[in-house]
Amino acid sequence: MTLKVGVIGVGALGQHHARVYAELPEAELVGVVDRDPERAAAIAARHGCRVFAGVEALAEEVDAVSVAVPTVDHLAVARTLLEAGRHVLVEKPIASTLEEADELIALAARRDLRLQVGHVERFNPALQALRGAVAQPRFIEVHRLGAFSPRSLDIDVVLDLMIHDLDIVLDLDGSEPVQVDAVGVPVLTPRVDIANARLRFASGLIANLTASRVSVDRVRKFRVFAPRTYVSVDLAAREARVFRLLGGDAQDPQIDMQDFPASPEEPLRLQLASFVAAVGSGRRPVVSGEDGRRALALARTILERMSDTNSPF
């Protein structure tokens, strides 16, 4: 059965949701909504769908919706859709506050609806190599750096960029963080634009994460260290390289290196196909509302630690 879908918010990110839905054979892109009528009309014309006047009007015509509006509007838009009985994929972060996230999760559960959160890096093919190579990571080093953009300025860099990597670390480890140290600095905006967090988990894992939206170069590197294994993942290139110690001694170690070349599969396409499949099958989404809440809770803790320190970055 073809799932009837729509997109609310077709800006920098939402326009790609519309594009992918229009290409998916399992979905029919029925229409879009955007606060900019000209923008909505252009995207609708590009993909042969309709422009709807508002959230309620679109909800009457579809089964599921991607929500790609500013974070401050996630609760209002997603709540309206869930109350109308529609399945929702809401972009990350799931909401502005944990209370808002709890409301959406509870509403989806009461209505037996799928609520998926758009942590698209979970669908990055390079992460499959990482998951297959490391069972118990001991140290993780992450750099997610990007040039300044006027998008997502309603939130700081932790909720905008770092939260992607927080979700990955939480998914890889499974235990709860027991110590969080963080610093951050506003550079071009009133909000934090560059941040560093050092996390210690109950499992013993240490994760050091840096995120910046005021960098010259675009970097999305994820490095994982475990006994006898080191994995370097380039999330931007969708490539991974795995090093394993096979034997030998400190003077002459025997190391095996395996490259996992870039995959042509687009993470967003994999994410939306997974959402459509979850709706069709009734199964739990790969990135559930609870997963999104967990990443948001850790991001909020990091921001609290930043406000507790006056140390320079």
Whole-number percent of the chain with pLDDT over 70 = 97
Query: What CATH number has the domain spanning 122-263+298-308?
Result: 3.30.360.10
Average pLDDT of the segment spanning 256-271:
93
For residue 178, the Cα-to-chain-centroid distance in whole angstroms is 23
Residue at 164: amino acid letter: H
pLDDT tens-digit series, residues 109-155:
999 999 999 999 999 999 988 988 888 899 999 999 988 877 656 78
Contact, 157 vs 166, CB < 8 A? Answer: no
- pTM check: above 0.85: yes
> Which phi and psi angles does 74 have, rounded to 5°?
-60, -50
Measured distance CA(90)–CA(273) in Å, rounded: 15
Report in angstroms the alpha-carbon separations of 79 from 268, 293, 297. Answer: 23, 15, 20
Query: Does 311 score more than 50 pLDDT?
Result: no
Q: What's the mean per-residue pLDDT of the chain?
A: 94
Average pLDDT of the segment spanning 82-86:
98
pLDDT tens-digit series, residues 18-51:
999 999 999 999 999 999 999 999 999 999 999 9
Query: Does 310 score more than 60 pLDDT?
Result: no
Alpha helices in the chain (DSSP H): 14-23, 37-47, 55-59, 74-83, 98-110, 126-133, 157, 163-173, 267-281, 289-308
| Architecture in CATH for domain 3-113 | 3-Layer(aba) Sandwich (3.40)
DSSP symbols for 158-190:
IIIIIHHHHHHHHHHH-S-EEEEEEEEE-SSSS
Average pLDDT of the segment spanning 260-271:
93
* Burial zone of 214 (CB within 10 Å; 0-12 exposed, 13-18 middle, 19+ buried): middle
Domain with CATH 3.30.360.10 in the chain: 122-263+298-308
Contact, 158 vs 302, CB < 8 A? Answer: yes
pLDDT tens-digit series, residues 223-234:
999 999 999 999
- Measured in residues, the chain has a length of 313
Domain with CATH 3.40.50.720 in the chain: 3-113
What distance separates the 2 farthest-apart alpha carbons in the chain?
70
Average pLDDT of the segment spanning 49-59:
98
